[in-house]
Amino acid sequence: MTQKNKTAWNRENWPIAAAMIQYPNVLPDGSSVQEQTAEQWAETLSDVTELGFTELDPTDSWLRIADLSPSRLDEFLSVTRAAGLSIPAISTARRSVIDPNHGADYLRYLHRVIDTAAAIGAKEIAVGLSAPLSDDQKKALWFWTAKGHVDSPDPAVWKLAVERIRDLGQHAGSVGVTISLEMYEDTYLGTADSSVRFVEDVNHSAVGLNADIGNLIRLHRPVEHWSEMMRKVAPFLRYWHVKNYIRDEDAVTGTVSTSPAPMEFGLINYRQAIKTALQHGFQSAFLVEHYGGDGLSVAARNRDYIRTLLPR
């Protein structure tokens, strides 16, 4: 299912975008990034360009560009162009189409994201089934160590999720955009097997998988080996969120501990993971992420590491 881009990308020009997960939508004074001036957006994006990024993902946990008015969207695009940033893809966060309270609203929002992506020339969007953080997750040092949302075991809900994602796929395909479904714990995309089954049920050429297996190996519970997950999902791989974690398992007590790490230092061997993806024809952008500390600087380090692994 992985589609090849007509452009022969190499390690010099492969799009590797900065995520904006370090930047909140609501500022300390209570104002919203949505309402900032173009100059204020430019000030934030200077962090990105100073670290050498030439691609940006305006992650919607920071700025919902699909909810900007046409004139404000033009302002934002002018800011990114002036900064020398292109936008290969748009990531969405915690806007599940089967959210019991807001699923229909999120579906309409994701249709707007598709139209916005097409209008600005972004070729891919990342969509997931994760839910807003629970109160326990908000209190935890690392949110993935506390209990969060679990997708319903009801087959009717699975069917609804498949139908709504297929609906998005049909729209995306009609405007030249592809959808990458983010793997995330306790959702229908929470294991490699379930993710493959889900995307096969959707059965649309514009819908593939975002093999964000870092979301899974960070869990303090037994998980499938990262290489087995990659082997299963690589044929379906699209826009790819990449990050890594140190993981320690005590076989005697069953204790698991994890912490974020730069890509080359963590459990996942991305040299092998990227090789596996390329063998299956992977030709999409990367999004580099990191939680904790100066995540943007670590993401820049991850970008430079990825370039050493790509074809010359």
Looking at the DSSP assignment, which residues form a beta bridge with residue 126?
Answer: 91, 180
- Residue pair 152/227 in contact by the 8 Å Cβ criterion: no
pLDDT at 7: 58
Q: Residue 297 pLDDT > 50, yes or no?
A: yes
Listed residue (109, 95, 261, 102) closest to 181, CA to CA: 95
φ and ψ at residue 12, rounded to 5 degrees: -85, -35
State whether the Cα torsion 244-219-23-61 is positive or negative: positive
**Is 10 part of any domain?**
no
With 0.85 as the threshold, say if the pTM is over it: yes
Average of per-residue pLDDT across 290-301: 97
Number of domains observed in the structure of the chain: 1
What is the phi-psi region of residue 232: left when phi exceeds 0, alpha when psi lies from -120 to 50, beta otherwise? alpha
Q: What is the pLDDT of residue 195?
A: 98
Residues of the chain above pLDDT 70, percent: 98
User: pLDDT (tens digit, 9 = 90+) per residue, 184-237?
Assistant: 999 999 999 999 999 999 999 999 999 999 999 999 999 999 999 999 999 999
Residues ≥6 apart with Cβ < 8 Å to 130: 93, 94, 96, 148, 149, 182, 184, 187
Q: Is residue 9 part of a domain?
A: no
Whole-angstrom Cα distance, residue 282 to residue 144? 28
Is pLDDT of 136 > 60? yes
Q: Are 115 and 179 in contact (CB under 8 A)?
A: no
Residue 50: pLDDT above 70? yes
pLDDT range class, residue 300, cuts 50, 70, 90: very high
In a domain, 271, yes or no: yes
The CATH number of residue 207's host domain is 3.20.20.150
Range of the structural domain that residue 147 is part of: 16-309
For residue 8, the model assigns a pLDDT of: 82
In a domain, residue 82? The reply is yes
Residue 3 lies in a domain: no
pLDDT of residue 4: 46
Q: Can you tell me the distance from the alpha carbon of 27 to that of 240, in angstroms, rounded to the nearest whole number? A: 28
pLDDT tens figures, 6-22: 458 999 999 999 999 99
For residue 137, tell me if it sits in a domain.
yes
Summarize pLDDT for 97-135 with one digit per residue, the tens. Answer: 999 999 999 999 999 999 999 999 999 999 999 999 999
pLDDT at 101: 95
In a domain, 5, yes or no: no
